Amino acid sequence: MSNKILDGVRVLDLTTFVTGGFATLMLANQGAEVVKVERPDAGDDNRHSGPPFVDGESPYFWTVNYGKRSVELNLKSEEGKQALYDLAAEADVFVQNYRPGTAERLDVDYESIREQNENIVYCAISAFGQTGPWRERPGYDLLVQGMSGIMSVTGEPDRPPVKVGLPQTDLITGMWAGFGIVNALYKRERTGEGEYIDLGMLDATLPWLTKQAGKVFAGEEPTRMGTKDPVLAPYQTYETEDGHINVACLNQKLWREFCEALDRPDLFADERFETNADRVENMDALEAEIEAELTERTTDEWMELLVEDAGIPAGPVQSVEDALYNEQTEARGAVTTVSDDESDREIPVVEHPLNYADAESGFESPPPELGADNRDLFREIGYSESEIDRLADRGVFGENE
């Protein structure tokens, strides 16, 4: 018996790319059975994202689809639509990220699915939500990063706005979706009633503005500050002899100890840097003083002096490879592998961070090959072999079946 919290929960995932994919990935990690319903012969667009490719597969696709199943369905055919309805009747959660209006045209909107399963938890993800003057606009991470204000505060002050180097608003939205779905499942346990969740990417991103929203509420305009912080100093990236290091001194005790570790007690005595407010006011002068010291040694040397010896919060700016593979991630099992007995595939996995004392979590299988579960899934919900053959013959599973 599985000891995973969402064991027994079945999720139908009709999404493409990252927003819904990451949400259902979170659910799969907690034990839910996630079924990707994909376009016949093509599948999720994210399968083809790249390069790079590994043996014809997209590693990007891997990272948001571990532990799922895949079925191909032509939802523009009556047989495909009915097959989806039969799956929905046996499901707990239904997730889609169509532009508003598309689900209605395909007859997979909330009311249509609820007719098959009145207790379904239905999550509709879109760029701007199901209401409002922008509801029908297309939207992707780049657009939402710009429209949410994130790009206006990212980058150097004398340079153009910069996109965060990962699909941040996709992932933010995915996490809100996962959170909302679990909340709705909990509500259903208490009331017996399903739920409809309307989630817009722009709405999902705004709560993450925190400090920047606070400045606006105080009548100020947030600006691009590079790695500097609007309310803390020193709290930024500094150059070293061979790389970069982040230093975070959030109180006077740490500031004093940092000055001592630099062998610069004069900085602590300098009235320009007396309080955090003073240091924020004189941030450029502070940066020049600190960086003049830090460029005299390597990053590893400073990690020894600042962190190991003095206990200062500091850390190197690592490459992605170094971030994935180091002694800490190895000790925590943060990056592992999963294998597929049938194909002998072994795929690297970035595990999710929830470590329970009395429950299990984690991925147990690689991302599914397109249509890998076409037949098994319908057998499980009671279709006969002749009924499955008929679906295949009618092209419901695509030309490659």
Digit-coded pLDDT (tens) for 256-311? 999 999 999 999 999 999 999 999 999 999 999 999 999 999 999 999 999 999 99
Among 340, 326, 320, 333, CA closest to 55: 340
Among 199, 180, 296, 280, CA closest to 238: 296
Concatenated DSSP letters of 124-186: EEESS-SSSTTTTS---HHHHHHHTTTGGGSS-TTS-----SS-HHHHHHHHHHHHHHHHHHH
- Report the phi/psi class of residue 154: left, alpha or beta, with left for phi > 0 and alpha for psi in -120 to 50: beta
What's residue 294's pLDDT? 98
* DSSP conformational letter for 346: E
What's residue 343's pLDDT? 66
Task: Give dist(CA 25, CA 349) in Å, integer.
Answer: 12
Digit-coded pLDDT (tens) for 273-284? 999 999 999 999
Residues in the chain where the model's pLDDT stays below 70: 1, 342-343, 401
Domains in the chain, start-ordered, CATH in brackets? 10-208+327-393 (3.40.50.10540), 235-317 (3.30.1540.10)
Q: What angle do CA 366, 372, 376 make, to 5 degrees?
A: 115
Q: Give me the active site residues, please.
A: 170
What's residue 55's pLDDT? 86
What's residue 386's pLDDT? 97
Bridge-based pairing state of the strands 10-13 and 33-38:
parallel
What's residue 399's pLDDT? 87
What's residue 49's pLDDT? 86
Q: Is the dihedral of CA 257, 260, 264, 266 positive or negative?
A: positive
What's residue 50's pLDDT? 80
